[in-house]
Structure 1
Amino acid sequence: MNKLITVIRDFSYSVYNWCYETVIGENTRKYKMTWKVPKESLKIIVNKNADARMQRELENRTAKDEANALTSRRRVFGSYALIGTQRAEFIQFRQIKHIDITNASLDFLYNLKQLKHDNLANFYGIQLNDDLNTMTILHALVERGTLEEFCLDRDFGMDETFKSAFMRDILKGLQYLHLSPVAYHGHLHAATCLIDINWVLKIALYGVTNFVCDNFDAENITMPDRSDYTISYAQYVCFPPEHIREYDATGKLPTRFVRGSKQGDIYCVGMIFYMMIEREDPYRLIHSVERPGSGLMMEILDHNLMPFISNNETQEDTLLDKCKECWNRDPEKRPTIENLRNAIAICYADSKGNLIDQMIRMNEKYADELETLVAARSADLALAQMQTMRLLNEMLPASIAKDLKNGVIAPARSYASATVMFVQICDFIVILKRRPPKEVIGFLNDIFDQFDTVIKRHDAYKVETTGETYMVASGVPNENEGRHVFEVAEMSLEIRAISLSYTLENDKNYKLRVRIGFHAGPIAAGVIGIKNPRYCLFGDTVNFASRMQSNCPPLQIQTSEITARMLLATHEYKLVKRGIVHVKGKGEVNCYWLNEHIHKDEEIEESGTISHPLES
């Protein structure tokens, strides 16, 4: 009897342990599936007006002078993805069979999703195993351009300041990857090195090549129908020979992802550095219309062909020698990241730190040198200072940028009262549908440039532009003794006047309509980020101002009751009480419309009021 009880007890424990481990295991798998992108939250946006070969490429806008071209470069996308509200770049494959995610793959992809670094474009995840029959790899969209395009654009002055900063950014991002559980990049090329709007280089498409190749080998996926736009042959031949050989020892198979490793990444770094120094594609294939025969690939695989390096002596010879070491066919003999960092320090001894630091130092250096030159050189000094400050003023208010230039970081602080305004272009989706991307960008540049002109006439700071929305603040960081609400009121009226008279080139029937909302109240503000500083505003006032804009009809300027009272107290502004409006997060709010500023020198009609076309 006792023996039977023991058997039953042991069996019960075994069943309990099995159930416990099964439930815990399933919960753990669900927890680690944060990298999986559901099909419901993924939307591919295709720009039908963009030439297909322009997809994921950099393009200059219409600005022709060098100073404006430097700051106005943006990429034109043939297509991009939306994950909820986040814009993403993507690589997509056709999925043929269900992809089994092993525990090892699950842990790897979970770790990949957790990576965060200033020099990595965030990995958003992978869409797979659904009825879309695709596997899509997604990462953060970076707007300014690819390093490949900057290298090959001879009009772009890539001096040692840019080269050293971009090289250091690549090594910092790569070192973080190599020390992480992911441990490799695998698809490193100048085309996957992206430059953001703050001129910080971020590497993308890291850590996915082995996963992709596993599924190629298992015949779970194939290249998309238009695979030539996924990996060009000019990029393909720059990958490590040892990994190309694993896929194709004949040099005849179509281009695709190859496997990756730490040593393979170093080989790719050599190719990127060569491209930056020589300003050429390593094997001069970038302009080839058709893929060359297998001879080039066999020369690389079997005869150790390397990119051509001239015998001309330059200060960058030390770095080119390191590039040759990176291409050593014995992966173990390739240099380390620290070796490469030291070579950069030797080659570009006068360039240290990130791009902003270097430009600040460069400006100071120019100032010291140009003071001793003749008056004819004073124009060069002004230009150098203007270029440096233009970059800083793109990201920060003038006073904050000036402090940063002088080595002073202003502490974050609260402001008792400031005014925030949002301006949004109505029916922007109509412009997107009717016009090609180049015209849409030209339209936004034109109208926002006119808004910028208004801001410059007032004591205010343009915080940012996001798509069709324009954000302005007054009273921060320069307190102006309560004038902020009147500054914003004047700007809102001027901006609306611009919209009423604006005509769109090639479409005279288009009527620009904007909705404007502003609110005055307490705000917290400060510089966020040490390496890539931005001046950010926080608090309920920002949210309230945004709600004033989003709840406002077109061609109206809406403000809150507390802000309206500040304007009415001067008897110089004409406002109309709109009434109670339901505002998200605020409930029922009494709102007003601002119609005009009654200047003292204006003649008042006999009735004692000033008429306005928007007044009901």
Structure 2
Amino acid sequence: MREMRHENLNLYLGLFVDSGILALVVEHCPRGSLADLLADSDVRLDWMFKSSLLMDLIKGMKYLHLRGLTHSRLKSTNCLVDGRFVLKITDYGLPMILHFFKKKKYFFLDLLWTAPELLRNSEQAGSFAGDVFSFSIIIQEVISRTLPYAMMDMPPQEIVERLKKPPPLFRPLVSVDEAPAECLNLMNECWNEDPSKRPNFDEIFKQFRGISRGKKANIIDSMLRMLEQYSSNLEDLIRERTDELEVERTKTDKECV
């Protein structure tokens, strides 16, 4: 695990085990998870920036699958964003480690990224096609900037039960004007009920590269705009804190007099 090196994989530095405590030592990503970034309403994410994040995810998963390794726990909280806004996948390879420890109890919210066939077979840890399904749910999150199935307005347990027992087929609803039609078509292919009909990450990479081809300059522009916004927000915060300190200083001076 420590020898795996890719720009879009979060680096494993070591494993700590003592007195029943298991901890992974990993590379720190100051921007937090993809879920954190999507939930931050102060951060403007246009389609170019969203597509850049998705491409990072695709390249990281393609690398894992080419080496015969499934992720099995892929979700937006397991995708970290570093200081350069590069997405890095973490928690990969964990089933190999967790096999030697007590099986983790999953809550229904954790299962919203899980493929239907895996929900029906709790003994199967994961699969390549299962990772592709998880990726499709992350596409929905990135496009709509909402939690998985948020537009369905249902509790996670009910969503999981509907996924396990079609018909009717149960999937998130995404507006056609929120992303290019090619991206929406790819998302639909990736959450196909039949695992054998889902594309692999090599095919996904080729399709998605065609969607975003020739738009590198726009992605850079998007990053620059985001950095400008962060700078502006920081200036506002400093100004606000300075005003608060000035008010407190005035109060203190009056009390002293």
Normalised by the size of structure 1, how large is the TM-score? 0.34
Q: Is the 8 A contact 1:266 1:326 kept in 2?
A: yes
Of 59, 79, 82, the match for 1:193: 79
3-state DSSP of counterpart to 1:124: strand
Distance in structure 1 (CA, Å) of the matches to 2:248 and 2:5: 45
Q: Is the 8 A contact 1:315 1:347 kept in 2?
A: no
| Alignment correspondent of 2:47 | 160
Q: Is the 8 A contact 1:160 1:348 kept in 2?
A: no
Instruction: Report how far residue 153 of structure 1 moved.
Output: 3.3
Instruction: Report how far residue 322 of structure 1 moved.
Output: 1.3
3-state DSSP of counterpart to 1:138: strand
Alignment of structure 1 residues 77-156 onto 2, 5 Å: 112-128=1-17, 130=18, 132-156=19-43
Partner AA of 2:87 in structure 1 = L
Of 148, 159, 167, the match for 1:282: 148
| Alignment correspondent of 2:126 | 260
| Alignment correspondent of 1:221 | 102
Aligned pair in 2 of structure 1 residues 233, 506: CA closer, same or farther (>3 Å)? Answer: farther
Q: Is the 8 A contact 1:170 1:202 kept in 2?
A: yes
Q: Deviations over 1:275-317 (max 9, x none)?
A: 11122222118999xxx4743222101114211234x456522
Q: Deviations over 1:316-370 (max 9, x none)?
A: 2221121121112322211122332333334334523xxxx5454x49xxxxxxx
Distance in structure 2 (CA, Å) of the matches to 1:388 and 1:153: 12
Distance in structure 1 (CA, Å) of the matches to 2:177 and 2:226: 31
Are 1:306 and 2:166 matched, yes or no?
A: no
Report the structure, 1 or 2, having the larger strand content. Answer: 1
3-state DSSP of counterpart to 2:15: strand
Distance in structure 2 (CA, Å) of the matches to 1:316 and 1:341: 16
Distance in structure 2 (CA, Å) of the matches to 1:116 and 1:150: 24
Aligned length: 237
Aligned pair in 2 of structure 1 residues 269, 156: CA closer, same or farther (>3 Å)? Answer: same
Q: Deviations over 1:410-464 (max 9, x none)?
A: xxxxxxxxxxxxxxxxxxxxxxxxxxxxxxxx9xx97xxxxxxxxxxxxxxxxxx
Are 1:339 and 2:203 matched, yes or no?
A: yes
3-state DSSP of counterpart to 1:194: strand
| Alignment correspondent of 1:330 | 194
Report the structure, 1 or 2, having the larger helix content. Answer: 2
Q: Is the 8 A contact 2:29 2:82 kept in 1?
A: yes
Percent identity, aligned pairs only? 25
Of 249, 259, 273, the match for 2:139: 273
- Give the root-mean-square deviation of aligned CA atoms: 3.6
Q: Is the 8 A contact 1:121 1:204 kept in 2?
A: yes
3-state DSSP of counterpart to 1:145: coil
Are 1:240 and 2:121 matched, yes or no?
A: no
3-state DSSP of counterpart to 2:22: strand
Distance in structure 1 (CA, Å) of the matches to 2:179 and 2:160: 31
Partner AA of 2:111 in structure 1 = Y
Instruction: Report how far residue 389 of structure 1 moved.
Output: 8.3
Q: Is the 8 A contact 1:120 1:204 kept in 2?
A: yes
Q: Is the 8 A contact 2:62 2:202 kept in 1?
A: no
| Alignment correspondent of 1:560 | none
Q: Is the 8 A contact 1:359 1:388 kept in 2?
A: no
Q: Is the 8 A contact 1:124 1:139 kept in 2?
A: yes
| Alignment correspondent of 1:177 | 64
Are 1:319 and 2:206 matched, yes or no?
A: no
Instruction: Report how far residue 266 of structure 1 moved.
Output: 0.9
Distance in structure 1 (CA, Å) of the matches to 2:108 and 2:190: 21
| Alignment correspondent of 1:351 | 215
Aligned pair in 2 of structure 1 residues 390, 154: CA closer, same or farther (>3 Å)? Answer: closer
Q: Is the 8 A contact 1:121 1:203 kept in 2?
A: yes
Distance in structure 1 (CA, Å) of the matches to 2:28 and 2:177: 39
Unaligned runs of 5+ residues in structure 1 are 1-111, 249-257, 364-383, 392-441, 447-502, 508-616
3-state DSSP of counterpart to 2:2: helix
Q: Is the 8 A contact 1:282 1:308 kept in 2?
A: no
- Computing the radius of gyration from Cα coordinates, the structure with the larger value is 1
Instruction: Report how far residue 237 of structure 1 moved.
Output: 1.6
3-state DSSP of counterpart to 1:174: helix
Aligned pair in 2 of structure 1 residues 121, 201: CA closer, same or farther (>3 Å)? Answer: same
